[in-house]
Structure 1
Amino acid sequence: MKKKRYIATTIMIALLFVFATFFHLPYYVTMPGTAEPLRPLVEVEGGYKEKGKFMLTTVRMGQANVFSFAFAHISKYNELYRMDEVRQEGENDEEYAHRQLKMMENSKETAIAVAYKKANRSFSYRNKGVYVLYVVDGMPAANVLKSGDQLVAIDGQRIEEADAFIQYVSGKKKGDRVRVTYKRAGKEKTATLTLAPFPKEKNRVGLGVSVMTDRDIVTDPPVRIESDEIGGPSAGLMFALEVYNQLIPEDLTKGYRIAGTGTINIDGEVGPIGGISQKVIAAHKAGADIFFAPNERGAKHSNYKEAVKTAKDIGTKMKIVPVDTFDDAVQFLQKLS
């Protein structure tokens, strides 16, 4: 009898363990990721070599199970986010992943443009179409379009830029009908949709789609950036620094291991990102000497101030440097001994 009870208890514990491991909660958990050298990922044809390293920092993120949910409550630098804090309204996991990868693609193109512009090298753009990033539940496009569809035309007018599509739709009013031509898996289709108010913005009408222009940047000399399955726009600053350093004779690294994070726009302005503390920890563990953090023009709760607080907390000797622009980072590196 005792043996049977023991076996039953063991089976029950095993089933509970499996359930706790594979049952996902409606939360995402994030934790410190890695800091990897950018040189293997970024290569300008005939580019200059460097003695030090620019490093890409990442945050690990996944849907929480029972164990990771519990651990996040006791771990100082593991954080929990509700699903609606991470995903857009009506966005599923596949659409979220697709949006993150598209944001990374856009970030790479912008970083390349900033670097080539700074180095006085030529570049141009080649548009590849306008694509759907995600669709809002309950809106007119919800049962027609999906993430990854290419928008070909609206009311017979060819679409070349996302801004043109947005401007055209924003000029319409509730109840107006538009004919959307789109392409999916190589097949072209057409649907007529009626504009409706957004669920949480009754004064704003639309189709309920987020779109972006997909394009390639053409450079001289050519440049390659391999980002694999890394998503999001937060590597923009570091991509731009690595590309620029390969374009100029002066080695900005000067032998240092330089990590950092921050979005970048075409004007070279550096924007804030999520998970700054976790990226500081990742850079510290990888032995970085310097960490660039978005300064947000000195905002009270800026990424930079949080990074300084985290660096002090973990006792790192890594220097935290505030940057508002790409030029801020370049000028700091130029002054290094």
Structure 2
Amino acid sequence: MSRRAATLTAASVLVLVLALVGSLMPVPYVTLMPGPTQNTLADNAKGEPLIAIDGRQTYPTEGNLNFTTVTYRGGPGGRIDLLTALRGWLDGDTAVVPEETIFPDDESPEEVDEQNTRQMRDSQEDAEAAALRELGIPVGTRVVVDSVQKGRPADGKLKAGDEITAVNGTAVTKVQQVSDIMNGVRPGETVTLTVRRDGDESRQRIPTTKGPDGGAVVGVVLAGDYKFPFEIDISIGDIGGPSAGLIFSLAIIDKLTPGPLTGGRFVAGTGTITPDGRVGPIGGIEQKMIAARRAGATVFLTPKGNCAAAVEARPDGLRLVRTDTLKDARQALNALTTGKGTVPSCTG
């Protein structure tokens, strides 16, 4: 064998060995890729309205209002190999990020999934509240039991989902009101909670004990909830996270007001939403824009905090509309439809 042939053979073997090692070597990275999009004005996979409203007049809609998602590969339970990570780095549609970006060291994959599910549930409720308030429809609040701590006085007397309507005879509709009343109770004293469960109301006398901060507690975790004047049901399947809040709010507004909000356009977007209508930034903006454009979107509603990254990675044919608030987004879509007014962009 000639020296050149021997060198080529050795190089080929080395490449094969490196490829084999790369395919077997797990690395602590996660790849982020464009995920599916769904039109909130259409039906879900079961043939049911993705957003259904009962108890209030609704109006026909047109066009698309798509929320966008990101899919990922990797994580502590199934790490990607080195070659997959390298391919991701070379692929313009894929982002490769450290594993702890998605899976914090102090949380298990199951806890991350649970958190994402909870965030989606909360974002839906915040979106409903923001939409109704934008339309001037009153939204009430209430206090509910999120969980009961085992071994504490409330264990066996209260359960998750119970609504607390009064403490020691004082009506409450916010968690802070409960905290303010409990600040005046000394550990060991008994409190009377008025509880609504399955439509029935009862009074529970529960002794208190000393909490971690020295105050009186009964051993429950409370959460604020909304009291909507009619039913809104959002059914999107197994998708987590809070980033669809803005699109949910706009879709609800579209269904509750005459005339198509999109003007028949294919609009997509992203952004968290607060109950008072403020839009927040999200992760994976590059992959979400790619997913939107592939689906056919020509307009992309972009949180102000994501504008810089969005401008750098904007796909051809996609117009970026900057959204600071729900009102901004609504006005921008109206301006696009009527040709009157300004349409804020990520470039100024």
TM-score, normalised by the number of residues in structure 2:
0.64
Shift of 1:131: 4.8
Q: Which of the residues 65, 72, 83 maps onto 2:80?
A: 65
Hey, which of these two has a bigger chunk of strand by percent? 1
Q: Which amino acid aligns with 1:93?
A: P
Contact 2:304–2:324 (CA under 8 A) maintained in structure 1:
yes
Unaligned 5+ segments in structure 1 are: 1-12, 133-148, 169-190, 196-210, 297-302
Q: Which residue is 2:110 aligned to? A: 94
Shift of residue 110 of structure 1? 0.7
Name the aligned partner's letter for residue 97 of structure 1: D
For residues 304 and 114 of structure 1, the distance between their equivalents in structure 2, rounded to whole angstroms, comes to 22
1:48 aligns with 2:59: yes
Amino acid across the alignment from 1:55: N
Matched with 2:47 is none
Q: Does 1:329 align with 2:329?
A: yes
Determine the C-alpha separation between the residues in 1 that align with 2:276 and 2:261: 21
Q: How far apart in 1 are the matches of 2:295 and 2:161?
A: 43
Tell me whether 1:283 sits opposite 2:285 in the alignment.
no
Distance 1:165 1:59, change over 3 A: farther
> Distance between the aligned counterparts of 2:223 and 2:88, measured in 1?
37
Identity of aligned residues (%): 29
- Taking the aligned partners of 2:268 and 2:70, their CA distance within structure 1 comes to 13
* Pick aligned residue for 1:213 from 214, 223, 232: 223
SS in 2 for 1:240: helix
Which ranges in structure 2 are unaligned for 5 or more consecutive residues?
Answer: 1-15, 44-49, 149-158, 182-208, 214-220, 339-348
Task: Give the secondary-structure state (helix, strand or coil) at the position aligned to 2:139.
Answer: strand
Q: Tell me the number of residue pairs that the alignment of Structure 1 and Structure 2 aligns.
A: 256
Name the SS of the counterpart of 1:244 in structure 2: helix
RMSD of equivalent CA atoms: 3.6
**Is 1:115 the counterpart of 2:117 in the alignment?**
no
Change beyond 3 A, Cα 1:131–1:90? farther
Q: Give the corresponding residue for 1:38.
A: 40
Cα gap change, 1:232 to 1:167, in 2 (>3 Å): farther
Following superposition of structure 1 onto structure 2, how do residues 204-243 of structure 1 map, counting pairs within 5 Å?
213=223, 215=225, 217-243=226-252
Call closer, same or farther: CA 1:53–1:270 in 2, change over 3 Å.
Answer: same
Structure 1 pair 218–30 and aligned structure 2 pair: CA distance change class (3 A): same
- The one-letter amino acid of 1:56's match is F
Please name the residue that 1:185 is paired with: none
1:310 and 2:313 matched: yes
For residues 85 and 192 of structure 1, the distance between their equivalents in structure 2, rounded to whole angstroms, comes to 37
Which runs of structure 1 show a deviation greater than 3 angstroms over 4 or more consecutive aligned residues? Answer: 125-128, 149-152, 160-168, 191-195
Q: Which residue matches 2:4?
A: none
Deviations 1:76-131 (A, max 9, x none): 23122223222344110111111111111111111100111111223334444235
Match of 2:253 in 1: 244
**Shift of the alpha carbon at 1:214?**
6.6
How far apart, in 2, do the equivalents of 1:295 and 1:131 lie?
36
Change (3 A) 1:167 1:97: farther
Cα distance per residue 1:257-286 (max 9 Å; x no partner): 110001111221111100001110000000
Residues 228 and 218 of structure 1: is their aligned pair in 2 closer, same or farther, counting only changes over 3 Å?
farther
